[in-house]
Structure formats: C-alpha cells, structure tokens
Amino acid sequence: MSESHPNPLLRFGTVPAFNDITVAHVGPAVSEVIDGCESAVAEIERLAPTLTASELAHRLEPVDDRLGWVWTLVNHLNSVKTSDELRSAIEESQPKVVAFTTRVAQSVALFKAYRRCADASDFADESAPVKRIVTQHLRAAEHAGVGLEGEAKEAFNTRRQRLAQLSLQFGNHTLDATKAFELVLTDAQEVDGLPASARGLAAQNAAANGSPDATPEAGPWRVTLDYPSYVPFMKYSTRRDLREKLYRAFVTRASSGDFDNGPIVEEILALRQAQAKALGFDSYAALSIDSKMAPTVGRVQALLDDLHGASKSAAEREHGALEEFAASKGGPDKLQPWDVAFWARSLREARFDYSDEQLKPYFSLPNVLKGLFDVSRRLFGIRVERNPDVAGWHDDVRFYDVFDDSDGQRVAGFFLDPFSRPANKRGGAWMNECVVRSVALATQGATFRVPVAYLVCNQSPPVGNTPSLMTFNEVNTLFHEFGHGLQHMLTKVDIASVAGINGVEWDAVELPSQFMENWATHRPTLLSFARHYETGEPLPSEFIDKILAAKTFRAGSGFLRQLYFAQLDLALHRDFAEGGDSVSDIKGRVIASHTVVAPIAEDRFLCAFGHLFAGGYAAGYYSYKWAEVLSADAFGAFEDAGLDDDNAVAETGRRFRDTVLALGGSVEPMEVFVRFRGREPSTDALLRHNGLS
C-alpha cells in the first residue's frame, strides 16, 4: 500500500487525493487495510514476549496509523460531504473496524507484554513517549475489557458494536432533522429587524432551494436551523411569534418521526452504564474520568460546584436587568427562551453602543486569517502560506503550508473548510487529524512525516460578490480551532500515538484552543486584522474599546449555560439507570439548579447534543471548563510577562510552543502545564477574565 495504490484511500503518506476518492473505494479499502493490520498484529503478538517497550510501540505504530488514516478520512468525508451512499458504506464497514480495534485492545499477548515492560527494572530508562504509550495502552486495554472472559466478554463486545452503530445513527439523524426544517417567508414584515446580511443569506438559501429569483429586498427568504441562519434570526427578528416557532423547532430537532434520537439517547446511556459496571466501575462517569486529567468524579463535581457558586447569582442579576430593560422598551414582562437572544442583543447594543452588524464589514475572512497567522508568527515563530496546488473535497476548501521561521523548514500543513453547507455538512466547528507526525513513517529521505490537520468551521458564507463577513463569535471560533490545529501541527514528538493531540487527556485537549481565543480580544492583534473589507480602513479605536468593555457582558449567564451542559452530562452518565432515574428526572433536577430561564416542557435538545452521543465528550463535557481554567491561567503568564512587551510576549510564546504545543501526549498534562507556568493551575485568572472574581 503506497502513494501509487489504485485505491486512493490506501495512498498513505502525504495528503489524501480527494479528487480521486469515490464511495466505491470505502469497503475495499477498509477490508484491505484491516487484513494487512491483522497480519501485522499477529506477528507482533508472536514476538511480544521478547520485545522491549520501545520495540512494541514502534511495531504497533504503523498498524494504528494506517487504519486510522483510512477510517478518519472516510468519517471526515461523511462530516463535510455526506451522502446516502457514503453513509451506507460506512455502516457496512463499521462493524469490521470495531471488531478489529476491539480485538487489538483485548489482546492478552500485547497486554502481558506491556505489563512485563512496565514492571521491568529498566523501564525508568525508556523515553517519556514510550513510557506514556505503555501506561496508556495498559489502561485502554483494561477499559476495553481485556480482563473479561466467556459470556461477559461476548456481551461486552456486542454492546461495543451496538454503541458504535447508535452513535453513527445519532449523528445522521441530527443532520437529517436539521436539513428537513425550513421557514420560508414571503412578506417583508416577516423579516422585520433582520440586518441586510441575514436577509441576503436567507434569500441566497431560497434561491438555492426552489426560488431562483429570490432577492434580499423582495424575498422569498428561507431560514433554517443551521447556525448562520438560526442565530441571526433569533437575535434580530422583531417577530416574536416566528422566533418562537424557530426556537421550538430547534430544541425539538431529531426528537420525533424517522429521525427520533430519543430512544437512541436512552439506549446509549444504558449500554454505557452496562459497560462500566462490567469493568467494575460504579458508573460510566467514573469509567470516563479514569482516563482524564481530573482524578475523580468528585473532583469534577467540586470544580462545577465552585464555578456554579460564582456564576448563578451573577446570571440571576443579569436576567433581572434584561427583563427590566425589555419591559422598558415595550417587551414582555416575563421573558421566554425565544426572547433572550433578541433582548440580550438589544441591551448590549444600548449599553455599549455598537452592533455585530457594524463590526462584520471589518471582519472579512481574508483579513481575519492574516491577523491569525500574524499573531501565530509573533508567538510561535511560524509562517503560514496558502498552497493552491493541493485540492480539497470542495471548492470552499483551501490548503496552507506552515514553515518554521528559524530555518525555513516546512513543518506542517492544514486544510481549512470555513463555510456552512447545511445540505451535506454537519454543523459546528472542529479540528481533526489528517496526517500525524512520525519519524518511523516518514517518506524516504525525510527527517519526519509532516503533520497535516483538518480545520472545519460553519461560518457565514460569502453572499454574492461580498466575501465572508464574520461575526465576532465566528472570529473566536476560527482562533479556537486553529489552537487545536497548532497542537497537532507543532508537536515535536516522533511517535504518532502520542504526537500532537494523540494521547492528550480529553479534559486537557481544549487548552491550546481556548488559549488562542484570548488573542482575538488582544488590542494589538485586533488592530492588525480588523479592517473594512472595501476601504481597508481600520476598525475605529472606540469600537475596540467597546468590544473589550463588552467581554464580560452577561458572563454569568454564559458561564451558567456551559455549566448546565456539563452538569447534565455528568449527572446522566453517573445517575441514569434503567428502572431508576430517567433522563427526564435527571434533566429536571439540573434545570432547577442550573438555569434562570427554564427550558420549555417540550425541550428535547439532548436529541441533537452530538458532543455527548455522536462525539467524544460523554461524561467529559466538563472538559471545556476544566481546560478553560488551564487556558486562562496560561494566558495569565503573558499578562504577567507584559502584553505590551513584544520581546516578553515572544519569549513566553516560544515557551508555550516548546511545552504545551510540542510535548503533545508524551507527558502527563499537569507536568506539561507546570513546565510552562512554573506551578499548578489556579481558577483566579478565569474568574477575573470573566468579571466573576
């Protein structure tokens, strides 16, 4: 299997040949790569009693890498360019992948070999990456059921297959349900309040879906549940009845009919609890956190409780002020969930005298990218350049090379897919691996294999001849995902399984991404990219003052919202039990303590909560807050050094690159943080940055 392989999914090494890949390649590629990996694993098992820890790690590296390349690539395409045919191919191949990965994880020969190495007197002499690989393999094997036998093992593996199937179905249902809803408006009164950009996007959506003559001025206008369409409508529409209709559709997505995820949620929770109990854990939450940076469920709960204490009263005060403001402007005395975004936007504009729409012309995607790349160069000594010769999976996609300033060497690359495409691309934003750094898997003559990342967003697309003009939230999102990409791309670890984000505990992996968000509100950085897309004029300084002043606007409410998600996730995976606490029981308790405006009775947002049921955040959504403590404290190091001192910022940035970004999963995250910060993390910076001290 090589770059010349007739199946493009099996051309390992550089970047995928997207123009050559078809659905017909999926099944044969998965079968062939698993056959090859099976043979390789069997040989490693035969030799296992004689291999050192380093030899085991290096022999297994190509096995993990090749299957990971194929399966990640196939699922990536399902996320950004799905089709019924591709879904069917994945559903057909998935059982083979799950069976093989389970078989390797449960290999007694490999487990015994790694245990022997870990217990050997010379284990301390192994390199840090190898020691981490051994530790993580042993724990992963235990979590995969290596100690189970007979019927218990068979039942465990059956549940594992079913969980993979349900997760795939959940994601497909969510995308299908989101696509299935549309609100077509034909009367100008129905789009009252919407800014020109939102009307333009709604008309563009209508033109692409059966109304080719649609215009921003005359309509018709098509509003969907996709974020670039949904969020502006909820913020700006003066039609309370339409906001309610759209809101109800949004929070009941995938909760009825052919796309009903309700039964899937309950089955997933039950199966996860059964898996945990089979392994001797009290709950799935305990199993999940056993492999996290947080030491126990109790420590996670303590963090959530501490942050809840700092945010609940603030959120209540903020909501009282919002209701008072709405009433003074002729709004309802009691705000409903579909009112909050509208009146919060109105209050912010009144208090700080600016709107998102005023800012958007200053945040064109080309300018924001330039600012992002410039600050990354100042901090980390890298140069990013567009490479038009590398094709992506869609015309929207562009490819970039990353060079090290110190020697001009190309050290990484990444694909960027920035725009929303609700017809076949799932919502949200994420980073994923395309190629992982490795010395052993480098092409002939190369020192190491250059890592490549996928960076995917769902921001507002260009409208007509106008470039993508971004909301400030979309700017933050782009900085966030690039932070993930930096950890993947700037790793110095030479073994793929602990390079970049690999091997990083889930609750620490958000550190670089949330850290990068701080630079979007750093005045010199803002000044470097906030320029009008037509005139080139910089964003007036008074607007920057207002943006910075508004950073803590409704911070308590934002905090409490994230804590609601984190607490609900933790409680579901700790307390759910068939015949005991139901999903609605648990949700009701969390709502009572973690919301100021309670969700409507029909709310079924869990049916579209892909982080928990189609992603990797099960009993781990708290990771956003756990890592936010780390990232805020990390940015505090730059504040301590002096944000106005360019040399101090550059020096601190290089230290961040040499620790947090370079070490990846080869060192425990607390040690990585201490190497950078000089001490263990504190919540002080997070609360201070959010005005909640």
Catalytic residue set: 481
What does 617-681 look like in DSSP terms, one character per residue? -TTTTTHHHHHHHHHHHHHHHHHHH-TT-HHHHHHHHHHHIIIIIHHTTSS-HHHHHHHHHSS--
Structure tokens at 524: 């010199």
Q: What pairs with residue 382 in β-bridges?
A: 404
Give Cα 20 to chain centroid, integer Å: 28
Angle, helix 227-236 to helix 240-251, in steps of 10 degrees: 140
Contact between 319 and 345 (Cβ < 8 Å): no
- CA proximity to 98, closest of 147, 45, 159, 56: 159
Burial (0-12, 13-18, 19+ Cβ within 10 Å), 300: buried
Residue 430's H or E segment, with its range, is: strand 430-435
Contact between 607 and 263 (Cβ < 8 Å): no
Give Cα 341 to chain centroid, integer Å: 23
Residue 65's H or E segment, with its range, is: helix 53-80
Residue 360's H or E segment, with its range, is: none
Residue 608's H or E segment, with its range, is: none
Q: How many beta carbons lie within 10 A of that of residue 4, not counting itself?
A: 7
* CA–CA separation, 520 and 539 (whole Å): 14
- How far apart, in Å, are the Cα atoms of 570 and each of 263, 293, 621, 693? 19, 15, 8, 25
- How far apart, in Å, are the Cα atoms of 124 and each of 128, 129, 130, 133? 9, 12, 10, 13
- CA proximity to 178, closest of 543, 611, 607: 607
* CA–CA separation, 335 and 330 (whole Å): 12
Number of residues assigned to the chain: 693
Structure tokens at 190: 């129905």
Give Cα 168 to chain centroid, integer Å: 17
* CA–CA separation, 354 and 368 (whole Å): 20
Question: Phi and psi (nearest 5°) for 158?
Answer: -65, -45
